[in-house]
Chain A
Amino acid sequence: MDHVHAPPVPAPTFTVRNLTIAYSGNPAIKNVSLDLYPRSVTAFIGPSGCGKSTFLRALNRMNDLIPGVTTQGRILLEGEDIYAPGVDVVNLRKRVGMVFQRPNPFPMSIFDNVAYGPRIHGVTDRDRLSAIVERSLTAAALWDEVKDRLHKSALDLSGGQQQRLCIARLLAVDSEVLLMDEPASALDPISTGKIEDLIDELKNRYTILIVTHNMQQAGRVSDRTAFFLSGELIEYGLTAEVFESPRDRRTEDYITGRFG
């Protein structure tokens, strides 16, 4: 194994300070602080119910949609507090896109799914839309499989194709950050491999934050890994270090499969 160089640390995309999130009073995230870096993949790992998804959904304020959720602390996106009063949540979600655990293409054609984002953000020109659709599908490694049936229903695609379509849909709106909530957990190994290759490709241009149950996956795709347990951030660092020489006993136990 090569020696791991500590990369020069760029300005963080997200700066999270003392974040506490509770569902009707029950804390799911407890006083978490960390920095998340651009053009790299950060994985959030931990057993079910450790709060990693809740943490992810705080970053584009998806938790706002769930009644009874309270968020304390600060989350800065490039220096600006995304929970400050008056923040344009719609614009935030445009910058910070999300791929969900289960593929959720809209019940429309493949083309319309990808064109959905650009359309709602004001692109009407047919040629420009076609160009965006082709570029996004190509970037999501799906173009060759669907180029002959762009106007067929997206729901007829396989699960893996649907998930890549959802990623293409996201790429079409020019987000800066991609949040992925266990994007491969509902997929077969081959589809999972394709998604992982795609993540590897995309990290040159995006800040990718991925929640995963799958330890090997975290090891394969991520540059940094954060380990959560019962809502607390136990350990956070370069993936190689977290996996090879965890500082905390609980991290080691989890990684070696002693629980979770």
Chain B
Amino acid sequence: MRDRRRRNRLADLAGRGLLVLAAAVTVAILLALLLYVLVKGLPLVSWEFLTALPRRMGRLGGIWPTIVGTLYLSAVALGVAAPLGVAAAVYLAEYAPPGRLTRLCHFGSETLAGVPSIIFGLFGFATFVIFLGLGWSVLSGGLTLALMILPTVIRTAEEALKAVPRAYREGSLALGATRWQTVWHVVLPSALPGILTGLLLGLGRAVGETAAVLLTAGSSLTIPLSPLDPARTMSVHLYLLAVEGISLERAYATAAVLVITILLLNLLATRLVRRLTPKGGHA
């Protein structure tokens, strides 16, 4: 009896130890990665590096056009994927009758979420660049990225909507609100933090994507102004710098800027989520 209790306690301790270890290893790897990139890259990052045009294919000068390209492309991707994805999620979570078609939609979006990005790149190349004649452009790249992150956006938004208590919906409907009023005034605000988290995940993927962007937005080093201009993102830039052996140091510096950009976007989004969480919300 006493022995067994002792054994149980030991097993409990061992179990907890393993979990702590796993968590520690994860965090350590993440930190090591970040530190490595920052330590190798940051020394080269200067105001000039951020704001100057690149010279000699990026061997000298700065990365300003690629920062613009990254933000531009992400904005297009998010601008398309957010309304479309959230609308689709609202339909799936609030309106779609459970059945064959809904299951098919789910299956479709889950499958798409697992498709490698290069496939999206090829599709975007064939469809937007060639067939629709948009050429290598911010628009082609942005639309391709939008398609790529759409499944993530839909899935997280749908989960967030489904997590809104049924009591809110019933309370609203019982006051004579229409379905749409209920969704718009009660359900969506409650689900907003979750939806924004999904958008953020999508944004992260879009900012980091390389292959699909290279195929659809091109790799021009000029500053894109019109949506039909070609553009190079930071990820593509860093890929080309490294692969073509142009400058490994500058690849690291670009990587550092990219990592910091993603970090800033994350912070901004968290702020936004907190600001937009309904006044009464517990989140």
Nearest opposing residue in chain B for A119, CB measure? B185
A173 within 8 A of B: yes
A143 within 8 A of B: no
Our pick among A65, A156, A169 for the contact of B170 (Cβ within 8 Å) is: A65
Task: Give the CA-CA distance A108 to B168 in the complex, in Å.
Answer: 11
Across the interface, which residues of B come within 8 angstroms of A107, CB to CB?
A: 168, 189-190, 278-282
Task: Give the CA-CA distance A62 to B181 in the complex, in Å.
Answer: 17
Enumerate B163-184 residues with CB–CB distance to A below 8 Å: 165, 167-178, 181
> Are A62 and B168 within 8 A (Cβ)?
no
Across the interface, which residues of A come within 8 angstroms of B173, CB to CB?
A: 62, 65, 93
Task: Give the CA-CA distance A143 to B181 in the complex, in Å.
Answer: 27
A256 within 8 A of B: no
> Are A97 and B175 within 8 A (Cβ)?
yes
**A100 with B167: in contact, given A67-B98, A107-B282, A154-B280 (CB under 8 Å)?**
yes
> Are A90 and B165 within 8 A (Cβ)?
no
Nearest opposing residue in chain A for B165, CB measure? A104
> Are B176 and A98 within 8 A (Cβ)?
no
Interface residue count on the B side (C-beta < 8 Å): 24
Our pick among B98, B169, B280 for the contact of A109 (Cβ within 8 Å) is: B280
Chain A 35-52 interface 0/1 with B at a Cβ cutoff of 8 Å (1 = within): 000000000000000000
Nearest opposing residue in chain B for A156, CB measure? B280
> Are A91 and B282 within 8 A (Cβ)?
no
**A94 with B280: in contact, given A67-B98, A100-B171 (CB under 8 Å)?**
no
B44 within 8 A of A: no
A16 within 8 A of B: no
> Are A106 and B280 within 8 A (Cβ)?
yes
Across the interface, which residues of A come within 8 angstroms of B211, CB to CB?
A: none
B71 within 8 A of A: no
Across the interface, which residues of A come within 8 angstroms of B165, CB to CB?
A: 104
Enumerate B119-178 residues with CB–CB distance to A below 8 Å: 165, 167-178
> Are B174 and A108 within 8 A (Cβ)?
no
Across the interface, which residues of B come within 8 angstroms of A191, CB to CB?
A: none
Across the interface, which residues of B come within 8 angstroms of A154, CB to CB?
A: 280
Nearest opposing residue in chain A for B175, CB measure? A117
A102 within 8 A of B: yes
Nearest opposing residue in chain A for B283, CB measure? A107
B186 within 8 A of A: yes
**A100 with B170: in contact, given A106-B186, A169-B175, A173-B176 (CB under 8 Å)?**
yes
> Are A102 and B167 within 8 A (Cβ)?
yes
Instruction: For residue B47, give the distance in angstroms from its CB to the closest CB of chain A.
Output: 44
> Are A120 and B170 within 8 A (Cβ)?
no
> Are B280 and A60 within 8 A (Cβ)?
no
Instruction: For residue A200, give the distance in angstroms from its CB to the closest CB of chain B.
Output: 22
> Are B177 and A60 within 8 A (Cβ)?
no
Nearest opposing residue in chain A for B166, CB measure? A65
Task: Other than A91-B176, A102-B167, A107-B280, give 4 A-B pairs with Cβ distance below 8 A.
Answer: A93-B175, A120-B177, A155-B281, A156-B280
B-contacting residues of A (Cβ < 8 Å)? 60, 62, 65, 67, 90-95, 97-98, 100, 102, 104-109, 112, 116-117, 119-121, 151, 153-156, 166, 169-170, 173
A-contacting residues of B (Cβ < 8 Å)? 98, 165, 167-178, 181, 185-186, 189-190, 278-282
Q: Which 10 A-B pairs have the closest CB atoms?
A: A94-B176, A153-B280, A104-B167, A98-B174, A107-B280, A117-B175, A104-B171, A107-B278, A107-B281, A93-B176
**Residue contacts A-B, CB under 8 angstroms, 10 given:** A90-B177, A93-B175, A97-B175, A106-B186, A106-B278, A106-B280, A107-B279, A117-B176, A153-B279, A170-B174
